Amino acid sequence: MAQNRIGIHAGVWGFDWSPASAERAISSAASLGYDLIEIPAIDPGRHSAVDTRASLRRHGLESTVSLALTTADDITSADGSIVARGERRLLDAVRFAADIGSRFVGGVVYSAMGRYSAPASAEGRDGSLAVLRRVAVAAAADGITLGVEYVNRYESNLLNTARQTLEFLDELDAPNAVLHLDTFHAHVEEADITDPVMLAGDRLGYIHASESHRGPLGTGSLDWPRLTRTLVAEGYRGDITVETFSSAMLTDDETADIGVWRRLWDDPDRLAAHSLDYLRRQLHEASVVPTSAPLAGSDH
């Protein structure tokens, strides 16, 4: 049976990270049986590393850290002050991860997450690589892996597919940088949901398990049996983290920021329990399917 650690994004319980909110998310994830929680590094001023680390230890839960750059700190920008702000934010996320005992920082770390009005420029790409080389060195000093998550065409003009991301990683040439796969984005951009798994091989380091419509796993059009069978066949042993959001748990600004206009679910604890059970069942069933069985044509 696959030995992947299963995690859940803290945003399932909302993006506030006050000590009380952090305790709620961490305690809920731990009590449900998750191995880790992914904590979004939105604003260092809203995150207490001391309180977060204490809560994680109290509940025996591991963690990962994620972020998405914005237009205000886009490291592909031609404005040096914006680039510097982005580098600072990335380094702050690495420091936060180190302080709470996390060994992974991933997400949209290479450009702003948002719609661009023009293609990425060669200068912007080079600037992004230059910053990330320095960030990767800083991360490596703390034993932290850097995950590069490609997203759909409406949320970045730089990296939209696994192939593009692997080429970017080749240029980055950082031993601690890996491909971070989000199944929602891959479902939009890839010809086949299994392509990024097979293409990346051992450079696939982290997965966001996200349904085609960002709702509860198994309720959209993503072929989970086919994907999990491919993960097992390819020997993937990295973390798999559930990522789903609902306007039921978000402020109006957060809803607008990530475009979650519908209440895709109402109860975060029920959603989290369902997601863990669903993902574990899929991985278990994938692990007992004969390796000679065809991967195509699974039912949902």
Q: Which residues are the active-site residues?
A: 149, 243
Q: Are 142 and 104 in contact (CB under 8 A)?
A: no
Mention every residue, 6+ apart, whose C-beta is less than 8 A from residue 75: 69, 82, 83, 86, 87, 90, 110, 111, 127, 128, 131, 132
CA distance 277 to 299: 18
- What's the CA dihedral at 58, 59, 60, 65 to 10 degrees? -100
CA distance 206 to 229: 17
Q: Are 206 and 180 in contact (CB under 8 A)?
A: yes
Q: How many CA atoms lie within 13 A of 170 on its CB side?
A: 7
